[in-house]
A = this chain, B = another copy of it.
Amino acid sequence: MHRVRPLPNYLVQRYHGWKATGYADNKAWYRRLASDGQHPRAMVIACCDSRVNVISIFGADQGEFFIHRNIANLVPPFQPDGDHHGTSAAVEYAVQVLKVSNLMVLGHSGCGGIQGCIDMCKGHAPELEDKGSFVGRWMDILRPRFESVRDIADDKEQAREMEKQAVVTSLQNLMTFPWIEEKVNAGELTLHGLWNDIGEGSLENYSPESGAFHPV
């Protein structure tokens, strides 16, 4: 582990700046969060993409959202096989331990993972087909959905539709977890599917009635 390096200096300086302002001004809240534990109302499952805005788009502060971020905001189906399942573990902790009331899946425009999945489905990304490609194997979760967007001629439109299919897939997979289905049916948990256009700042909400996404 001799390859671990000092933290870049600009981050050290920015951290000290935050400590003297953002922390100092909110010390009471941070101390309360430390002593009282977290009581988030909602869980958000979003993409790792650096452009995705989970916090400020909803005016949230520390303590409000339990946030899991992975490639393409995907939830795999319920599979209690004893292996490491990071996403399922995060969902379990939020729903079973923290008992969040709302669970939001937040997709976004221009998702690189989704584009990779489309390329793979079209046969344009052999490297993602490789067994050793973690991104490729992760995107396998979404792969069956390609059929529903295959005929969309416009590339950008096809990508957007696939991004929305990823949100719907995650919602459907969440319902395969028995304790989620139970809580949803008991009115103790609500699921929400969202898609954000990064450039336009728009937000669309999935409606199961219409089967489509509508502006919030």
Interface residues of A (CB under 8 A from B): 1-41, 43, 48-53, 55-71, 74, 76, 80-94, 97, 99-102, 104, 109-110, 112-113, 131-135, 137-141, 168, 171-172, 175, 183-185, 187-194, 197-203, 205-209, 216
Residue among A25, A89, A138, A139 with max Cβ neighbours from chain B (10 Å): A89
Residue of B nearest to A79 (CB): B84
Q: Is the CB–CB distance between A84 and B141 below 8 Å?
A: yes
Residues of the B chain whose Cβ atoms lie less than 8 Å from the Cβ of A17: 14, 16-18, 20-22, 59
Residue of B nearest to A201 (CB): B23
Give the dominant DSSP class at A's interface. mixed
A199 partner, pick from B34, B191, B198, B202, beta carbons under 8 A: B34
How many Å lie between the Cα of A172 and that of B2 in the bound state? 11
Q: Is the CB–CB distance between A41 and B21 below 8 Å?
A: no
Residue of B nearest to A76 (CB): B84
Residue of B nearest to A104 (CB): B7
A25 partner, pick from B6, B36, B81, beta carbons under 8 A: B6
Q: Is the CB–CB distance between B82 and A131 below 8 Å?
A: yes
Q: Is the CB–CB distance between B71 and A93 below 8 Å?
A: yes
A31 partner, pick from B139, B140, B199, beta carbons under 8 A: B199
Q: Is the CB–CB distance between A21 and B13 below 8 Å?
A: yes
Kindly provide the distance from the CB of A159 to the nearest chain B CB, expressed in whole angstroms: 12
Residue of B nearest to A53 (CB): B62
Q: Is the CB–CB distance between A84 and B21 below 8 Å?
A: no
- 3 smallest A-B Cβ distances: which pairs? A17-B17, A34-B199, A23-B201
Would you give 17 A-B contacts (Cβ < 8 Å), ordered by A? A1-B172, A7-B194, A13-B56, A15-B59, A17-B17, A18-B56, A20-B20, A22-B57, A23-B201, A28-B188, A32-B188, A33-B51, A43-B48, A50-B65, A59-B59, A85-B86, A93-B113
Residues of the B chain whose Cβ atoms lie less than 8 Å from the Cβ of A74: 86
Q: Is the CB–CB distance between B57 and A10 below 8 Å?
A: no
New A-B pairs, 7, CB < 8 Å, besides A8-B29, A88-B134: A3-B185, A34-B197, A48-B93, A50-B63, A70-B87, A80-B134, A84-B140
